[in-house]
Structure 1
Amino acid sequence: MIYKKYRRLLILIFSALLGLLSSFTIPAWSNSLSLHTNAATSPLALAKEGQQRYNAGDLEAAVKLWQSAAEAYQKVGDREGMTKSLIDKSQALQDLGLYPKACNTLLQAFAIKNPDCSQTQIDQLYKTLAQQRDSLSLTQAIGLHSLGDVLRRQGLLPKSEEVLQLSLLSIAQSPQKSAVLLSLGNTERTQGNQIRDRWDYEEVTDIIDRKSVSDALAPYQEAINHYIAAAKVTSAPAITKIQAQLNHFQLLLETQKWWDDQTNRRITSWSRFGESKLIQRAKDFVSQLKSQLNQDVQALQNQITPNLTALTPSRAAIYAQINYAESLMQSGQINNVEPLLKNALQQARTLQDGRAETYVIGYLGKLYSQQGQLSQATKLTRQALLLAQEQNINGDAREITYLWQSQLGSLLRKQGDPKGAIAAYTAAFNTLQSLRSDLNANNQDVQFDFLQEVKPVYLELVDLLLKSNLSDEELNSLIVSNPSINREKAEAKKLPKNRLELARRVIESLQLAELDNFFQDPCSETADVAVQIDSIDSHTAVIYPIVLPDRLEIILSSPGKPLQEAIIPISEQDINQTLDRLYDYLDNVTINNSARNILSTSNPDPRELQENLQTLLPTFERIYSWLIKPFEAQLDSNQINNLVFVLNGRLQRVPIAALYNGQNYLIEKYSVALVPSLQLIDPQRLERKQLKVLAAGVSEQIQVQGEFFAALVNVPEELDQIKQTFPASQKLLNQQFTAKTIEKQLKSNFPVVHLATHGLFSSNPQKNFIVTGDGKSISINELSTLLREPGTTVELLVLSACETATGDERAVLGLAGMAVRSGARSTLATLWPVGDASTAKFMGEFYQNLKKPEAKQVDALRNSQLSLLESLKANPPFPELKNLPPHPYYWSSYVLVGNWQ
């Protein structure tokens, strides 16, 4: 595991970027006098100095001073003073991104003994204070407000909302009411993001088709209401009101952009099928939404602009101006940005706040870049970077540093300096690698910001490396780090450096970063050095497709051979359109002529299925020409039997086994597996002696949280086949299959766990679940915990009847992550639902193949798919399909992710 001594993701900039500004004023202190003011080191003097240091941006010093003040107050028996000092200390810790410490400090303020920020302690504190809600003091209410903010930033959103609501009830008509309403709005907004991101493709399509603007905005209505209420508290400080308006403003802009993107994606799909009525409804929907939002956006802007310039200079005012500038740039209103940022810069320098200054200068550089003033933008970006590095001397400003390193790389590239750009992006990459745990573990409400802020750094660096003609000496000057390796260790191992190897290493690191981000937890065990395929399997090649704006690059790693590349001159837009077309015809539930919809009817039309297949095959053939054809000769000469793919983006939802060369499917020549990263592979062969399976399933119709799941009547046969193949196996059917029985049985150490039940994987880990026989569900996190029990070693996890969320290209991360998180070395699952009769037959074949002493897991999968293919060839479901290859929808959904051995 990789743990950092300090987890210091600075919330201020991500708050600014996301519009999640909180009140940066320190609320617990009033102007009331203390009896203990004589000595220079009196509690009040310490507390006031802490306030001054905090206002100047010296957060570490503020933490120490408030801790000293709390101890001094405790010595003189002033409980109220101690509580206030601890609350203030917690605020500074939050700003440093040290949320567990901030949480413990707040629990200490509420007199919780041995605080550890556990769920039990938080629940008990809430229960106790809720019973005293009518008699809580203002200080206690402020402490609850701070705790609610901490809980949100730790991802505990329902509890954050509860705690903030209690604070609101206790705070009456105090000026602090506005700040609590602002925090409630932020929590509701984050919950709104979760609700929205849990919608699958079909749900979003339904809202667009119904032209329901109210449903489109529903996830954020509570947040909007709280922001409006916060801005209306007459006694509140001006900064708090403006922060609420800014958050509301940016929320509306982001909501409009999200729905524009979603609607355009569907219009593109519907255009393929000539669905003119659907296209018009989509255009009407987005027009109505824009009309409503624009009205509110303009009204907010008219209030924000004059009020922002009238603010008293402070750190909070500076970040509010950065927030507004960012929103204006995103909405194309760049003409109003420069005066705003220059005013903020002057304030930062007056306050001598180095962190704020580097942000303002960096955003000025971003503005000039957007305006085409590249020379001035570069100068400012270098200046911001120098300031950020100075901040690193006394603290840790890496999360600022990487922003300006990557911005500098982009600017140098635009100015025709690829070597300088590579150096800048490499520096940003190394900074991100050192921040690997911090970027993901500390701030669970910025999950998808990864796609806009972090992922591009990796892809830009890869793009530049693959285009470069740097010498070995120049390449060796670039330290591309693995977070597990310190520099001395890297030098000692003399890591190979060449253009393709560096690019491959960066792509591997991107895959790890995506998994970390997906789970918000950097718990992926990685190898110390880049793993070579030679050391794993001499008959396996690894294929890395890398989608870049102007081309598709393929890197091939073969045993005993140098890395090879192929360049396909095709734009990213063309690639995505091809992959979207494949999805539309194969698995899109909102398209009438998709294979999924044709075959889900009680009486499928064979002509429709024939036409569908004849449309799909050329698309599968085109993708084959990209990924396989450039290397066919090398694969044959190297006697390659297995192909392992490291996929990213929309390629992750492609059933690779169904790639077609004009005569045969890929699976007819090669075994196929997917891996998130070679660095995550533990290449041990599955021990066949006395192999036993823990086989659990649900065959009855079942209701879970109000949703009905259909009966899987062939599951008992599926489990019986496993028991017959491996007699030492344990079977759990229906009511026998619960989280507790799984936990109990796993103590007997089953190397294979087979779960035949409904389940779902999506790009939101909280939506990943499997249904149990007692009418409940197990989340991916809960299942991972069960499979990681001491003494448990799961080699293979089989998820039969589960599916990935429709239209969700990140959903395969759920499958990959299931293996990584659970400790299972590999996972077998399906990309779309397969009939349970077909599944039972397929799984029977799979375990018979797995029983063979020399068979690899990937071979067992391939042989089972080939058996299904041959069966479909001999007995096609419809006579019209007799002279065509078997339709991929019947057989290619099964994927093996992880260790293929």
Structure 2
Amino acid sequence: MSEEAGNSERSALLFDLAQAAGDPETGIARITEILERHAELRSPETVEQLAELARTKVRVDAVESLRYAEAALAIARGIGDDQSEARGKRAKANSLWFLNQNRPAVELYEQAIWLYGKCGNETEIGRTMSSAIQPLIRLGEYDRAVQWVEQARAIFSRKGDTQRLARLELNAANIYHRQDRFAEALDAYESAYRQLLPFRDTEATAAALHNMAVCLISLNDFERAVAAHLAARAFCEEHGMPALVVQSDYNVAYLYYLRGEYSRALDGLRATREAAAETSDSYHGALCSMDQSEIYIELNLIEEASEMAQEAFVRFQELGMNYEAARSLVNLAIALGHRGNAARSLELFSQAREMLVREQNRIWPSLIDLYQAVVLYHEGRNLEAAPLCANALSVFREVQMGSKEVLSHLVLGQIGLSCGDGALARMHGDAALQRLEGVEAPHLVYQSHVLMARIEELAGDSQTAAAWYRSAQSAAESLRDVLRNEELKIAFMKNKLEAYESLICLALKETDGRRQPQEIFECMEQAKSRSLRDLMGSGSQERAEHDPETDLARQIRERRRELNWFYHRIEAEQLGQDAPADGSLARLRATARDLENTLMQLLRDMPAEEAAAPARTVDAIRAALGPGTILVEYFYARDQLIVAVLSEEVLEVIPLCDKSRVDALVRLLEFQFSKFRLGANYVNAFGSPMLRATQTHLRKLHDLLLEPIRGLLRGKHLVFVPHDSLHHVPLHALFDGRRYVIDEFTVSYSPSASIYALCHQRTANARGASLVLGVPDSTAPLIAEEAAVVAATLPGAELFLGSAASQRILMQKGPASRVIHIATHGRFRADNPMFSAIRLGDGYLTLYDLLRFRLPAELVTLSGCSTGLNVVAKGDELLGLVRGLLHSGARSLLLSLWDVHDRSTTELMQSFYTRFGADGDKAAALRGAMQELREKHPHPYFWAPFVLIGGV
């Protein structure tokens, strides 16, 4: 047999031994069988070969490494050789600490040291002590780790072993890092890296690069930390260490999370989780799931957050990592709380609390007490909530966590108000204000001032209450971009509308809404679609790919990211498993304070055209309306519906009715429209009674929404500004018993009066070709016909169908098009409308994609499934495709409120574009098309789904 064939056979036998060792039931018997057939394997050389294979595989696949180590140890015990047994024990210990089994690893290292001492092998004692440093650090046995470093250093120095001294310095630096001596640790890692380079020690060099990056994170040097992690990744990939590639990828993704760059973080975490699964790296896979759940909570992706938190919890439990498992359980409890499952949320909070108490972590259990108190408060269980919150407050006060103290006082103040105890509420409100003076927590100023306003309102002092609400309103306007985790996790902390609603209600209460309508109207506008208004009226953080960015805008973006970094670092220090090092929190807070001051100065320096867009004044909105146009704006304030009517001559604000009456009718109307899903046979059989029932609901809505202001509607065109559930109502189809609104007026819609004015003043493409995209499929085959009809109707239209109707075509031709018509399926995500999308030939176009586009068209039409549907978030923010299209620069939009898979859509579009081409009046063209289609299809389901949004 040739030498090559012999080596190949021996490698196969070593592999078989390792596989046998990995089977806990039959492993010993299988190893014995192999050794009986190949007696030559009973040797120290075989043990050394298996141990070396375990070492080389430990950073590639720690489970596989452990199998080789087990095989080495089994043979060593069989041959009765102390040195071989020590070698096997050390190999197994190395594999175990890579699998986070640190206590068993240290015990094996101790046994190996004793055996090497018995044999008088000083060099191997030093090697084993050096290897044991990391698991000792993880177990918190720092004194012992330092002692073994000194002993190993003395051994290697006597032997003149410079390579092992360099590796030892790497492990010693880990002690500095664990003790938060980051600058010293960085120096030590860099020194070790330089010493290792001549020896081509890839494993140790990779560890040095990785640890340098970790130190740079702790030193808040983001750019150098990313560069170091990427360098470590490249080195590990080049030298075939996939486990360390995964570790580097995770660290880079986590850095982006700390900076608040969630898209890049999520992309990185998803990819790393998949790579970790391929390398059996359960630890980093679980970390990815935990961090994804945290990001999803902040993005309000509650279903996804629950799934990731559950997955992380199970994995960490399997790994025996109690602290990380408890943190994952907290995220799951928060997600369930968001979903309204209070009982299960409280149960999981309690379980997580017990786990963290066992970890001897004092801060996390108190924070969980606060979370539980909030859930109980919302459930009306104030007697249970109050003591939990009070206990948390005492801990936060003792450890000087000022922002958490303020939060606790606010919750206790809310509890006092809900119990009617004004004195208790005032005590905690005053305490919150006093504590705020020494705390950098501007995000809590708003909530404190709202609490004080509610206290004064309860006491009957409307004037002082209004002053507090105005102060809260001012705080919300200046600090609305600064959201911290507490606000994202505690539901009642998020409602920044309370000040606006309360000011309106106080004004209505004192004046009947008729003597100061301008103040009320402007307050309504301040509260509505603020973020969308800013997106449209200023340079946004999500810029078109080709847009230049000013130096000031870049500085603001960078300072915001740096603040996110420090906010996360502060929270991590406060809530971490280990107590913060002396002065570390103070240094982080001081740096964050400096950054906040810098950011506020930059925002003050921003030119008016780049700053956040203010609500338009009454005069500016009147100028945009022009003669014959009347704006009808609805607003819910404390569940009371109010309407404002604005024209060139009139501004009136009138209370209408309770929200519950409107919502009940909206649900009944939606139920009637849902009957069309029962199929053509049902519709044909019951068409007449369905029409009568729908008209009844539309008439009742007319009586509530329009009849009280009928005398003020002296004009030709109505601009409806809905609120809340009214965004889903075809207000143009309201019925007075004889006529629909569309029979008397042309109609358009807008998210707010200010956004209408912004759309009106936009410069759109007055000339240029039209772009028509159609993506038909088996469920909507008529899309191709519709697209062809529209392309034939529009002058100079370019038509793209199927796979040709791609994002690339839209991005390439859209910016120069006057009209863009897209006939396709829409995918509306009610759970997370920011991920609503329309289907194009090469994939789905989401709202996030639209934020990168520039489409300054006169009109963008989306003809598909519910493309106009939105979820209405706090601040009456529309979260759906409307948001992305208005931001992209479109002057007006034509979208559908409900699904219509019928030839009637093609007929309506042909009529609309023919009329629009004749006189250029979009609103009149839509009215004419609706009336024409109604002659053939009298039910509003067919002729009323489309709404015109924006400037007309």
Query: TM bucket by the smaller chain?
Result: 0.5 to 0.7
Summarize deviations over 1:698-726 as a string: whole Å, max 9, x none: 3x426xxxxx6545352254234324xx2
> Does 1:736 pair with 2:753?
no
User: What is the distance in 1 between the residues matched to 2:489 and 2:396?
Assistant: 29
User: What is the distance in 2 between the residues matched to 1:516 and 1:47?
Assistant: 50
> Does 1:692 pair with 2:779?
no
Deviation at 1:552, TM superposition (A): 1.8
Percent identity of paired positions between Structure 1 and Structure 2: 20
Deviation at 1:219, TM superposition (A): 8.1
User: Which position in structure 2 is the counterpart of 1:859?
Assistant: 924
User: What is the distance in 1 between the residues matched to 2:372 and 2:486?
Assistant: 23
User: What is the distance in 2 between the residues matched to 1:350 and 1:812?
Assistant: 43
> Does 1:567 pair with 2:655?
yes
User: Which position in structure 2 is the counterpart of 1:580?
Assistant: 667
Q: Please point out which of 790, 806, 817 is paired with 1:750.
A: 817
Q: Please point out which of 711, 735, 738 is paired with 1:663.
A: 738
Task: Write the mapping of 1:264-343 to structure 2, written as runs, cut at 5 A.
Answer: 293=344, 298=347, 300=348, 303-304=351-352, 315-343=363-391
User: What is the distance in 2 between the residues matched to 1:609 and 1:389?
Assistant: 66
User: Which position in structure 2 is the counterpart of 1:837?
Assistant: 903
User: Which position in structure 2 is the counterpart of 1:504?
Assistant: 521
User: Which position in structure 2 is the counterpart of 1:223?
Assistant: 309
Deviation at 1:253, TM superposition (A): 4.5
Residues 463 and 182 (structure 1 numbering): CA distance in 2 closer, same or farther, change over 3 Å? farther
User: What is the distance in 1 between the residues matched to 2:485 and 2:760?
Assistant: 33
> Does 1:672 pair with 2:780?
no
Aligned 8 A contact 1:515 1:813 in 2: no
Q: Please point out which of 494, 501, 511 is paired with 1:459.
A: 501
Q: Please point out which of 222, 226, 229 is paired with 1:107.
A: 226
User: Which position in structure 1 is the counterpart of 2:434?
Assistant: 386
Aligned 8 A contact 2:868 2:895 in 1: no
User: Which position in structure 2 is the counterpart of 1:187?
Assistant: 292
User: Which position in structure 2 is the counterpart of 1:482?
Assistant: none
Aligned 8 A contact 1:322 1:341 in 2: yes
Residues 193 and 574 (structure 1 numbering): CA distance in 2 closer, same or farther, change over 3 Å? farther
Deviation at 1:651, TM superposition (A): 0.4
The residue identity in structure 2 corresponding to 1:668 is D
User: Which position in structure 2 is the counterpart of 1:364?
Assistant: 412
Q: Please point out which of 856, 881, 892 is paired with 1:793.
A: 856
User: What is the distance in 1 between the residues matched to 2:498 and 2:409?
Assistant: 21
Residues 301 and 387 (structure 1 numbering): CA distance in 2 closer, same or farther, change over 3 Å? closer
Residues 141 and 822 (structure 1 numbering): CA distance in 2 closer, same or farther, change over 3 Å? closer
Q: Please point out which of 545, 550, 553 is paired with 2:634.
A: 545
The residue identity in structure 1 corresponding to 2:945 is S
Task: Write the mapping of 1:434-445 to structure 2, written as runs, cut at 5 A.
Answer: 434-439=478-483
Deviation at 1:547, TM superposition (A): 2.4
Aligned 8 A contact 2:718 2:748 in 1: yes
User: Which position in structure 2 is the counterpart of 1:21?
Assistant: none
User: What is the distance in 1 between the residues matched to 2:800 and 2:376?
Assistant: 58
Aligned 8 A contact 2:807 2:840 in 1: yes
**TM-score (structure 1 length as normaliser):** 0.67
Root mean square deviation of aligned Cα? 4.8
The residue identity in structure 2 corresponding to 1:887 is H
Aligned 8 A contact 2:182 2:219 in 1: no
User: What is the distance in 1 between the residues matched to 2:325 and 2:251?
Assistant: 20
Task: Write the mapping of 1:477-492 to structure 2, written as runs, cut at 5 A.
Answer: none
Aligned residues: 704
Match of 1:390, SS state, is coil
User: Which position in structure 1 is the counterpart of 2:777?
Assistant: 701
Q: Please point out which of 390, 393, 398 is paired with 2:442.
A: 398
User: Which position in structure 2 is the counterpart of 1:494?
Assistant: none
Deviation at 1:408, TM superposition (A): 2.8
Residues 856 and 669 (structure 1 numbering): CA distance in 2 closer, same or farther, change over 3 Å? same
User: What is the distance in 2 between the residues matched to 1:679 and 1:806?
Assistant: 21
Aligned 8 A contact 2:851 2:887 in 1: yes
Match of 1:660, SS state, is coil
User: What is the distance in 2 between the residues matched to 1:92 and 1:366?
Assistant: 39
Deviation at 1:250, TM superposition (A): 4.0
- Larger deviation, residues 670-679 vs 499-508: 499-508
Residues 694 and 251 (structure 1 numbering): CA distance in 2 closer, same or farther, change over 3 Å? closer
User: Which position in structure 1 is the counterpart of 2:341?
Assistant: 257
The residue identity in structure 2 corresponding to 1:756 is A
Residues 353 and 733 (structure 1 numbering): CA distance in 2 closer, same or farther, change over 3 Å? closer
User: Which position in structure 2 is the counterpart of 1:821?
Assistant: 887
Pick the structure with more helix per residue: 2
Summarize deviations over 1:374-428 as a string: whole Å, max 9, x none: 3112221232133224324xxxx22222222223333333333333332223222
Aligned 8 A contact 2:774 2:805 in 1: yes
Deviation at 1:671, TM superposition (A): 1.0
Match of 2:895, SS state, is strand
User: What is the distance in 1 between the residues matched to 2:721 and 2:738?
Assistant: 25
> Does 1:431 pair with 2:475?
yes
Match of 2:523, SS state, is helix
User: What is the distance in 1 between the residues matched to 2:178 and 2:419?
Assistant: 39
Deviation at 1:445, TM superposition (A): 12
User: What is the distance in 2 between the residues matched to 1:631 and 1:154?
Assistant: 46
The residue identity in structure 1 corresponding to 2:664 is Q
Summarize deviations over 1:741-797 as a string: whole Å, max 9, x none: 2333336x21211112222444434542222345x33223334534x1xxx631210
User: Which position in structure 2 is the counterpart of 1:488?
Assistant: none
Structure 2, unpaired ranges of 5+: 1-136, 151-169, 195-204, 544-610
User: Which position in structure 2 is the counterpart of 1:530?
Assistant: 617
Deviation at 1:830, TM superposition (A): 1.3
Aligned 8 A contact 1:126 1:163 in 2: no
The residue identity in structure 1 corresponding to 2:629 is T
The residue identity in structure 2 corresponding to 1:579 is V
Deviation at 1:373, TM superposition (A): 2.7
Aligned 8 A contact 1:533 1:541 in 2: no
User: What is the distance in 2 between the residues matched to 1:87 and 1:423?
Assistant: 49
Task: Write the mapping of 1:594-743 to structure 2, written as runs, cut at 5 A.
Answer: 594=675, 596-597=676-677, 601-606=679-684, 608-636=686-714, 640-680=715-755, 681-684=758-761, 692-698=769-775, 700-701=776-777, 709-723=780-794, 726=795, 728-743=796-811
User: What is the distance in 2 between the residues matched to 1:729 and 1:181?
Assistant: 52
Summarize deviations over 1:504-547 as a string: whole Å, max 9, x none: 23332333236489999688973574353321122211111112
- Larger deviation, residues 78-87 vs 831-840: 78-87
User: What is the distance in 2 between the residues matched to 1:813 and 1:141?
Assistant: 32
User: Which position in structure 2 is the counterpart of 1:481?
Assistant: none
Deviation at 1:668, TM superposition (A): 0.5
Deviation at 1:553, TM superposition (A): 1.1
Aligned 8 A contact 1:504 1:555 in 2: yes
Residues 126 and 758 (structure 1 numbering): CA distance in 2 closer, same or farther, change over 3 Å? farther
Deviation at 1:228, TM superposition (A): 4.3
User: Which position in structure 2 is the counterpart of 1:247?
Assistant: 331
Residues 742 and 625 (structure 1 numbering): CA distance in 2 closer, same or farther, change over 3 Å? same
User: What is the distance in 2 between the residues matched to 1:126 and 1:669?
Assistant: 73
Aligned 8 A contact 1:516 1:522 in 2: no
Greater relative CO (CA pairs within 8 A, separation 6+): 1
User: What is the distance in 2 between the residues matched to 1:659 and 1:74?
Assistant: 74
User: What is the distance in 2 between the residues matched to 1:658 and 1:719?
Assistant: 25
User: What is the distance in 2 between the residues matched to 1:750 and 1:244?
Assistant: 49
User: What is the distance in 1 between the residues matched to 2:364 and 2:307?
Assistant: 26
Summarize deviations over 1:132-166 as a string: whole Å, max 9, x none: 2345798x598468448548871453532443566
The residue identity in structure 2 corresponding to 1:838 is S
Summarize deviations over 1:540-570 as a string: whole Å, max 9, x none: 1111111244532111111133x202222x3
Aligned 8 A contact 1:797 1:828 in 2: yes
User: What is the distance in 2 between the residues matched to 1:712 and 1:435?
Assistant: 46
Match of 1:546, SS state, is strand
Aligned 8 A contact 2:630 2:718 in 1: yes
Task: Write the mapping of 1:176-215 to structure 2, written as runs, cut at 5 A.
Answer: 177=283, 181=286, 184-185=289-290, 187-188=292-293
User: What is the distance in 1 between the residues matched to 2:518 and 2:893?
Assistant: 28
- Larger deviation, residues 534-543 vs 414-423: 414-423
